[in-house]
A and B are shown apart, each in its own frame.
Chain A
Amino acid sequence: MADLTLLTPELTLVGTGLVVLLIGLFLNTNAKKILGYLASLGVLASLVLVIMSLGREGMLFNDTLSFDALSQFFKIIFLSVALLVSIASIKYTEGNSHTEEFYSLMIFATAGMMFVASANDLMVLFVAFELASLATYALAGFEKKNPISLEASMKYFMIGSLSAALMLFGISFIYGATGTTSIPGVAANIDLLLGSPMGLLSVVLMIAGLGFKIALVPFHMWAPDTYQGSPSVVSSLLAAGSKKMGFVAAFKVFMIALIALQAEWTTAFAVLAVITMTLGNVVALSQTSVKRMLAYSSVAQAGYITMAFVVMSKTALAGAILYALSHGFMKAGAFIATGAVVYMVLSEKKDSETPDDIDNFRGLGRRMPVTALCMTIFLFALAGIPLTAGYMSKFVLFASTIEAGMVWLAVIAILNSAISLFYYARVVKYMYFLPSDGEKISEPKPYTFAMIIAAIFVLAIGFWSEPFLYWAMEAAKVLI
């Protein structure tokens, strides 16, 4: 009998989701605030359980789920993001009669991501991937009366389902050639795939399918629309959580299952990485919507992480994994901060069409000091200013590129990160150095709380990187 206790974090989380949904059915709208606390508590409990299980390894359910350093690391990312989002959403969902749906969908999405992290079988991977995706489609369109939110959700859904179809088609070929869907099994039988034209086909399909989720450049067009249109807390979950899920899936598919076909896919990833980071950064320069800017920045960041597929050294993977963690905190925090601003703008002007416009950030340093400070930290971290999480992970990732002798790639990445500083700094300038006519306002506490937690972690990873780096290295060992 397998050790089912390994599954407790997931079970706790799913249980919380069900309980939240159930309780929510019997509460009236005013009392639904408690659901937010309940959900946050459940996510926290699950997070604690994962942290407690660090170092334990095992397989479950006929080896379809594997619990190792990699999966635990990514679960920590997902749960941390979920925790931040669920705390911040306490304010966002206040007075909304659909609170229980929001929280349960969010929790199910997180559970899906966690199962992706643990998947050791393409079938489980796909199902969990879809679980997370489906929940996030609905979350993106959570504001049912808001055409922009619906549009975001629609685009996300269309592209997401296309990517699922591509992925499934690719998996079907992998299965057909190797006769198994188990990830190590595929790796063991890879000779069968190598000798057939299906090999290349499946690689292409998998890159496209996962590329949509990760928002690599030719497949990225949904991301800005979706991140801009969705509620900020949801964008935060999408950019910080869902995208990392794409990465962990890609790690599993390419680094473990299809490693023997690397000749086919490294070049593709190299090209994609370069295009992605360049386009993301360049387009982000001209955005006036902060959420859209963050979306493009997150496209660019995906490009950085993708470099790990090109370099494929242990350091690079550790860097990418650490980057995933840092980016989780930075992006989640930045979106939550934007969410706080949007919340503020909407509470002042009900019918504002563009509540996340950069003009609304004018003088934020005076109007919402905590939000502005945290946002500054996140933005600087995203830009890779030293002593933040973003710098540390960029450092490891870029350094590994040079270690592998791919100076050109490092040069491009570094130049890109130089460009990126501009659009981040612009927001900071608006917040601190441009005057505003608004008064100082009391900041929404749950948002602030979530932001502060994220900021603390962003700084902690930057200052005290050793343990995080160690975990990332451990996780990378699973892959290589």
Chain B
Amino acid sequence: MIPLFYYLALSAIIFSIGLFGFMTQRSGIRMLMCVELMLNAANINLVAFSSYNADLTGQVFALYSISLAAAEAAIGFAILMSIYRVRDMIDLDKINVLRW
């Protein structure tokens, strides 16, 4: 058996990479990818816990979260596409009509 700690460490690393990327990247697509990384880190957690708790809920949850992530990506792409059509770029630093 692989200790639970390894899974958690893996997911923590992936989550951190995603979070770091989300904070530092400015391209919409890359930010989206980073969010997907974070979601998948959570999925790893869920599945790992599920098998260690001997309970299927976590896996079912992971399944749901995968499909939600897909839907999220779809909407994200749609929005990015629309932005691209209007402004010819997806650099979020430059999308700043709104500010306080």
Contacts and interface: CB of A to CB of B under 8 A. Distances in A.
Nearest to B4: A176
Nearest to A180: B57
Q: A interface, by DSSP: helix, strand, loop or mixed?
A: helix
Contacts of B31: 158
B83 A147 contact: yes
Contacts of B75: 134, 137-138, 157
B9 interface: no
Q: How large is the interface on B (under 10, 10 to 19, 20 to 34, 35 or more residues)?
A: 35 or more
Contact of B35 (A162, A171, A173): A162
A134 B87 CA distance: 23
Given A153-B79, A224-B100, A168 B53 contact: no
Interface in B47-68: 48-50, 52-53, 55, 57-58, 60-61, 64-65, 68
Interface residue range, chain A = 35 or more
Contacts of A169: 15, 38, 41-42, 45
Interface string A127-148: 1001000100110010011111
Contacts of A145: 86
Contact of B32 (A161, A166, A225): A161
Given A138-B78, A152-B98, A130 B60 contact: no
A126 B65 contact: yes
A150 interface: yes
A147 B92 contact: no
B61 A179 contact: no
A164 B41 CA distance: 12
A130 B72 contact: yes
B80 interface: yes
Of listed A123, A169, A173, residue having the most chain B CB within 10 A? A169
Given A137-B79, A162-B22, A179-B53, A168 B65 contact: yes
Interface in B67-81: 68, 71-72, 75-76, 78-80
A123 B64 contact: yes
Given A127-B64, A130-B71, A147-B87, A175 B58 contact: yes
B96 to A, nearest CB: 8
Interface string B5-24: 00000010001001000100
B44 to A, nearest CB: 8
Contacts of A172: 11, 42-43, 45-46, 49, 58
A181 interface: yes
Contacts of A179: 49, 53, 55
A478 interface: no
Contacts of A173: 45
B42 A154 contact: no
B2 interface: no
Nearest to B83: A150
B95 interface: yes
A123 B58 CA distance: 9
Nearest to B37: A165
A46 interface: no
A157 B38 CA distance: 15
A311 to B, nearest CB: 31
Given A153-B79, A180-B57, A148 B38 contact: no
Contact of A229 (B60, B64, B98): B98
A441 to B, nearest CB: 28
A283 interface: yes
A126 B43 CA distance: 13
Contact of B46 (A153, A154, A175): A175
A151 interface: yes
A137 B73 CA distance: 11
Interface of B: 11, 15, 18, 22, 28, 31-32, 35, 38-39, 41-43, 45-46, 48-50, 52-53, 55, 57-58, 60-61, 64-65, 68, 71-72, 75-76, 78-80, 82-83, 85-87, 92, 95-100
Closest 7 CB pairs of A and B: A176-B49, A165-B38, A172-B45, A168-B42, A225-B98, A179-B53, A169-B42
Given A172-B49, A175-B50, 12 more contacts: A134-B71, A138-B75, A144-B85, A150-B79, A154-B80, A158-B28, A158-B31, A169-B42, A172-B58, A175-B46, A175-B57, A181-B61
27 contacts: A127-B64, A130-B68, A138-B78, A146-B86, A147-B95, A150-B86, A151-B96, A153-B79, A154-B79, A154-B92, A158-B28, A158-B31, A161-B72, A168-B43, A169-B42, A172-B49, A173-B45, A175-B50, A175-B61, A176-B53, A179-B55, A180-B55, A180-B57, A181-B61, A224-B100, A228-B98, A292-B100
